[in-house]
Structure 1
Amino acid sequence: MAHLQDQLDLITENTRNLVQPERLAISDRAVEELFTTGIEQHILPVGAKAPEFELPDATGRTVRSQDLLALGPLVINFFRGRWCPYCVTELEAWRDLYPVVREQGGLVVAISPQTQRQSDFTAGHHKLPFPLLTDFECQLASQFGLMYSVPDYQRNYYRSILVNIPFVNGEESWRLPLPATYVVGQDGTVVFAEAYADFRVRPEPEEVLAPLLARQR
């Protein structure tokens, strides 16, 4: 299977071949400004206790972190929404690795601010076997240190390409999470944590799974 980052880099390459440089510069500016805030350095770190959560899945059923952790260690993927090709590519990578996670006794959940209806579309279209949870207004993402607000100039750009984030998220705040991946042990301790201000970069799933696999040896 191709490395996830290679797949994401191909999306970036194709985008740069198709989109005018002045439009690309908007996303590049937003990434650079977000990076300079130091947000990557303030995410919930390895060794911290992960916040407990109770969030609705795509069917409206409440999913509780305590119930999941009673069954095994938990991989948590925070993603921006179904409108982001990088996010859905990453979700598909986790879909393909899901049997490996389950063989090791682990579970996966993916969390975004999009509505339950949008999550239902996402799960069905991409055939995702794990729960997609709705984090309204990025309240949980904020507890993980991941929440930010899309700047005005980038909002205008998203509107121009018909990415209607307030509609997708069901509210007007324009809050999004940094794309992030966590592994939480059954005692609630974070054993892997990575998040990037650059939405075009994600950790390799095999790297994420290393702590989980190590605990099974």
Structure 2
Amino acid sequence: MSTQSRTSGGVKVGDQAPDFSLPTSTGEEVSLKSLLGQKNIVLYFYPKADTPGCTAEACSFRDSYEVFKEAGAEVIGVSSDSSEDHDKFAKRYSLPFILASDKTGALRKSYGVPATFGLLPGRVTYIIDKQGVVQHVFSSQFAPQKHVDEALKVLRELA
């Protein structure tokens, strides 16, 4: 169930990534615009903090975070969890990357992230280059750790 591009009106490869400004686990704001020109972005949407699949995915990103940094990328995880819940999640698992709170689901909607079975928020990773162009889209609800492998493969190709 992996896709290189979105269907049904979502953000796809070659599109300009929608900008955003969201609160993070540290209480600060993160925006795409503030990172453009400096780093490639790994923007990954996940259903809910502290659930088995999301914890496995986050820990995979954590375990490879130095590799992402060496590749000139910043990792941003997004869910509808509150900043406080993200803070607890980040501390509990020593997550060094940014966790952003999309409480209303507006960012998820602007990217066209689908719901699984119409209920569960989707798990999709977008690789956005320094110019803000989407270079890769990977969607797999049931292979959370594969998101890291896919992201690293694409970042190596961009380098």
Using the size of structure 2 for normalisation, the TM-score is 0.87
Does residue 46 in structure 1 map to residue 16 in structure 2? no
Q: Say which structure is richer in strand.
A: 2
Determine the C-alpha separation between the residues in 2 that align with 1:147 and 1:134.
18
Using the size of structure 1 for normalisation, the TM-score is 0.65
Q: Deviations over 1:158-198 (max 9, x none)?
A: xxxxxxxxxxxxxxxxxx531111100011110110123xx
Runs of 4+ in structure 1 off by over 6 angstroms are: none
Gaps of 5+ in 2: none
Q: Deviations over 1:56-75 (max 9, x none)?
A: 00122111111122321000
Which of 59, 80, 91 pairs up with 1:113? 80
Deviation, structure 1 residue 147: 4.8
Deviation, structure 1 residue 204: 4.2
Tell me: CA distance 1:130–1:195, structure 2 relative to 1, closer, same or farther (3 Å).
same
Q: Say which structure is richer in helix.
A: 1
Q: Deviations over 1:93-117 (max 9, x none)?
A: 0001110011111111101100111
Q: Deviations over 1:29-67 (max 9, x none)?
A: xxxxxx9xxxx6333211111100100001221111111
Gaps of 5+ in 1: 1-34, 155-175
Tell me: CA distance 1:149–1:115, structure 2 relative to 1, closer, same or farther (3 Å).
farther
Determine the C-alpha separation between the residues in 1 that align with 2:113 and 2:91.
26
Alignment of 1:130-209 (within 5 A): 130-148=97-115, 177-196=121-140, 199-202=141-144, 203-209=146-152
Deviation, structure 1 residue 80: 0.9
Does residue 81 in structure 1 map to residue 48 in structure 2? yes
Query: What secondary structure is seen at the aligned counterpart in 2 of 1:92?
Result: helix
Relative contact order higher in (CA < 8 Å, ≥ 6 apart): 2
Determine the C-alpha separation between the residues in 1 that align with 2:116 and 2:126.
21
Determine the C-alpha separation between the residues in 2 that align with 1:86 and 1:179.
10
Which has the larger Rg?
1
**Alignment-derived partner of residue 158 in structure 2:** 215
Name the amino acid aligned to 2:55.
Answer: V
Determine the C-alpha separation between the residues in 2 that align with 1:206 and 1:89.
13
